[in-house]
Structures are given as structure tokens and as C-alpha cells.
Amino acid sequence: MIRLENLTKSYPGQSEPAVRELTLDVPAGEIVVFVGPSGCGKTTTMKLVNRLIEPTSGRIHLDGTDVTEVNPDLLRRKIGYTIQQTGLFPHRTVADNIATVPKMLGWKSRRISERVDELLRLVGLDPALYRDRYPKQLSGGQQQRIGVARALGADPDVMLMDEPFGAIDPLNRESLQNEFLRIQADLRKTIVFVTHDVDEAIKMGDRIAVFRQGGEVVQYDTPERILAEPADEFVREFLGSGTSVKRLSLTPLSAVDVPRWSTVSEGDVDSGEVAAAPGEFRLVLDGDDKPAGWLSACPDGGPGEIVPLISLLGPDDTLFDALDQMLSLNSSAATVVDADGRYRGVLDLDTIRSAINVEPRSAPVETLQEV
Ligand SMILES: Nc1ncnc2c1ncn2[C@@H]1O[C@H](COP(=O)(O)OP(=O)(O)OP(=O)(O)O)[C@@H](O)[C@H]1O
């Protein structure tokens, strides 16, 4: 864990401190995102942690040790650091860049070589193709990946990441974010992540510290709670529009109470024991309790036919995915299954609304008739 305690940093010649009396804990294994407008002290605070900048007053504890009492070089070898401009050494190969800290730590060359290949694979680059290239022979996104691999070099418990995906186009940025979250799910590093971008903060952060000018943290909480209850007008404005949609994309269906609508079995449909009334749709489950389709009435009054389901939602999908599916399929409900593909329930607009506690503004939207 990182503990910042009453931290103040005043730069010489500046009338106001860049960071003032900042107290904040970064829990072990979490990503804490510093977000806020330009010049509000995010980078200064981050650089205080690995002593690239010395505090004017206050303390920083790393797993209970006061970092101001640790030799800065030794400290930095224990903390991975990656920045927007990647800071790769242009005249060193990818492998040599990644090996920077392991070499300083005196690792044997075989161990270093294995580690380099392992890290290249981790960040999605084939070692055979990339280890001997130079940074200028890589795309911007690939350089950022090498920056991340280098920061992970000696397997530090703590990572400081200053706008690590800042220089990347939106599409590549999103895939780097996703890959980094996938890596972090396994590695559980303690990470301080700086960004200007509120959407990136919401996506990447287990917690977000919203900074205001002068290094003041206005709100420090989970993305869900910051979106649901912004501390003041500054935070509300900083979050911008669309907070309800942002909350939808933060809510996995595994965390939603999905109403279980009544169903009919495929066997009963096949044997003609159940039928759908005109205008009625009934969800049909196969012998394994998996959705097989909707039973719709036949115009001629027959038992009806099973219309296959175009798409199902799983536990990793979010309320945003559910709404997106409903809009794109022009449907008022979406069928949800568990990790094994078995029926969990059916989501409609009312369920989505109540999951994020949004009151209906007008008459309730017509929903699929419950059977
Ligand atoms: N070396 C320095 N000397 C004097 N003032 C500095 C120095 N570095 C930063 N500052 C000032 O300290 C304040 C905080 O800067 P900092 O870089 O920490 O902000 P930031 O929130 O990271 O900004 P950005 O998002 O633009 O990177 C700014 O007013 C900046 O001008």
C-alpha cells in the first residue's frame, strides 16, 4: 500500500504550492487514477512517490516504509514507471530497453532473456519479431506496450503510470486499456495512473482521485460512487454529460438482479402442449435450461413456431451492452444467461433504470409482456 500523508510541494518561485496537504491511501493491488484539469498537481504527486521530486513537507509510506529514508535509486528499481513519451532509449533494442532494471539488479543474462520474452508475450508482441528492433521501428502503440513491459521488467509491486496511453489514437488506446486491465487482473500491482481523460479514469480506476488546482483532492472514491454522487459542482462539471450511460457501462450483468420470466420447455412445444397466444412471445428453454428461442403464435392458430434468439448476454456483458443490444435489435427486452449459457432472466428498460436508480421521466416505456 502507498500512503501519502499531509504532502505539500512548493516549487521555487511559485506563489502557490503545486500540491497542498494531500493525504490519500492507495490500497495494495488496486489501480488508483489521478484525474483533473491541466496543472492541478497530478504528475507532481506521482513523482513524489518515487522521489523524482522531493516533497516540501509531509510523508510517503510504501508498505509501511518511509520512502524519504530509502536510497532513491534503490527505491526506483522497486517501482515501475511509464510515461506518455515512453522514455525508451532510442539506441537500445527493445530487449535491452525491457532489460534495463533487471540488468541494474544484476540478474543473470539467461534469466533476463527469458523475462524479456515473457514480458513481450504479456503485452501481445511476438518476441521473435520484436526483441531486436529499435524503438523507431515500432508504431506508437507498440512503443507504449514496450514502455509498459519495461516498467514491469523486474516485477515491481508498485507501478506509476503517467498518461501511458495518452499519445495513442482512440481505437488503439481502447485495446491497450483492455489489454492492460487483463494483465492487471492477473498481476494485481499497486498502480497510480495519471490521466486527463475522465472516461479513461472511469474505465481503468478501482478508485479515482479527482484533483482541483493546487493539488487538492476534491473527491476520492470508486468510479461508480463518483458518477452516482459527485461531491460538488466542480466534479459534476468535470464528469461532463452522459453520467448515466457511463454508469451503465460500469455495471456488469453479474451484479444485476435479473428478473426471471416464466418459460416453456422445448419438449412441451414440440409435443404441442403449449402454444403462444397472438401477440405473445414465450421464451423456450432446451433440455439443458439454455434459451432456444421465442415461441410466437401462428397466424392460423397452430401451436406456434420457435423464433431463434439473435443474441444472448452473459455475465461479463454490462447494462450498456444490454441497452445497446435492445436498441440495435429494436427489442424491448434482452435475454441473459449465466457463464454456462443457462437461462438467468430477461432484462427490460425498467430493470436497467432501477439498477442505476434513474426515475422514469414520463409514462413507463412499454415492455415485453411478462408471461
Ligand atoms: N519544475 C517545476 N517548476 C515550477 N513549477 C512547476 C514545475 N513542475 C510543475 N510546476 C507547476 O506545478 C503545477 C502542477 O503541475 P503538474 O505537472 O503536477 O500538473 P498536472 O496536473 O500533472 O498537469 P498536466 O495534466 O498538464 O500534466 C503547475 O502549475 C505547474 O506549472
8, 10, 40, 218: which to mutate for ligand 1, most atoms within 8 A of CB? Answer: 40
**For the segment 56-84, what is each residue's pLDDT rounded down to a tens digit?**
999 999 988 898 888 888 888 889 888 87
Average pLDDT, the chain: 87
**Is 91 or 301 the better-scoring residue by pLDDT?**
91
Pairing of strands 216-221, 263-265: unpaired
- Any idea what DSSP says for residue 224? H
* Stretch 237-247: mean pLDDT: 85
Alpha-carbon span 125 to 102, nearest angstrom = 20
Maximum CA pair distance of the chain?
87
Q: Look at the pTM and tell me if it is higher than 0.90.
A: no
Alpha-carbon span 137 to 133, nearest angstrom = 6
* Stretch 132-161: mean pLDDT: 90
- For the stretch 163-168, contacts whose Cβ atoms lie closer than 8 Å and that sit 24 or more positions apart, written own/partner, are 163/83, 163/84, 163/194, 163/195, 163/196, 164/82, 164/83, 164/84, 164/193, 165/200, 166/84, 166/195, 166/196, 167/84, 167/85, 167/140, 168/140, 168/141, 168/144
Share of the chain above pLDDT 70, in %: 94
Residue 116 Ramachandran class (φ > 0 left, ψ -120 to 50 alpha, else beta)? alpha
**Residue-level pLDDT at 368:** 38
**Residue-level pLDDT at 364:** 41
Residue (of 102, 99, 95) closest to 132 by Cα position? 95
- Residues making up the chain, counted from first to last: 371
Give the atom of ligand 1 at the shortest distance from the alpha carbon of 47: 18
Alpha-carbon span 117 to 25, nearest angstrom = 34
Alpha-carbon span 334 to 318, nearest angstrom = 12
- The binding-site residues of ligand 1, defined as CB within 6 angstroms of any ligand atom, are 11, 14, 18, 36, 38-44, 196
Helix (H, G, I), strand (E, B) or coil at 185: helix
42, 44, 200: which to mutate for ligand 1, most atoms within 8 A of CB? Answer: 44
Within 10 A of 178 (CB to CB), how many other CB atoms are there?
Answer: 11
Pairing of strands 281-285, 263-265: parallel
* pLDDT above 60: residue 276: yes
**Residue-level pLDDT at 362:** 45
Give the atom of ligand 1 at the shortest distance from the alpha carbon of 41: 18
**Residue-level pLDDT at 262:** 77
pLDDT band at 36, cuts 50/70/90? very high
ipTM over 0.90: yes
Alpha-carbon span 302 to 83, nearest angstrom = 67
Give the atom of ligand 1 at the shortest distance from the alpha carbon of 19: 14
Q: Are the C-beta atoms of residues 94 and 147 closer than 8 Å to each other?
A: no
Residue (of 175, 2, 23) closest to 75 by Cα position? 2
> What number of CA atoms fall less than 13 Å from residue 29's CA on the CB side?
4
Give me ligand 1 centre to Cα 259, in Å: 50
Within 10 A of 116 (CB to CB), how many other CB atoms are there?
Answer: 24
**Residue-level pLDDT at 299:** 67
**Residue-level pLDDT at 269:** 81
**For the segment 286-329, what is each residue's pLDDT rounded down to a tens digit?**
999 999 988 877 766 666 778 888 889 999 899 999 999 999 98
Give me ligand 1 centre to Cα 230, in Å: 25
Distances (CA, A) of 47 to 65, 69, 79, 98, 327: 17, 16, 11, 21, 45
* pLDDT above 90: residue 23: yes
* pLDDT above 90: residue 97: yes
Residue (of 290, 296, 305) closest to 278 by Cα position? 296
**Residue-level pLDDT at 250:** 86
- Protein residue whose Cα sits closest to atom 17 of ligand 1: 43
DSSP string, 14-47: -SS-SEEEEEEEE-TT-EEEEE-STTSSHHHHHH
* pLDDT above 70: residue 135: yes
14, 15, 52: which to mutate for ligand 1, most atoms within 8 A of CB? Answer: 14
**For the segment 100-134, what is each residue's pLDDT rounded down to a tens digit?**
989 988 899 999 999 999 999 988 899 999 999 99
pLDDT band at 219, cuts 50/70/90? very high
**Residue-level pLDDT at 366:** 39
Share of the chain above pLDDT 90, in %: 49
Give me ligand 1 centre to Cα 44, in Å: 6
Beta strands in the chain (DSSP E): 2-9, 19-26, 31-35, 57-62, 65-66, 79-83, 158-162, 190-195, 207-212, 216-221, 263-265, 281-285, 291-296, 305-307, 333-337, 343-348
Please report the domains of the chain, with CATH numbers, ordered by start residue. Answer: 2-251 (3.40.50.300), 255-355 (3.10.580.10)
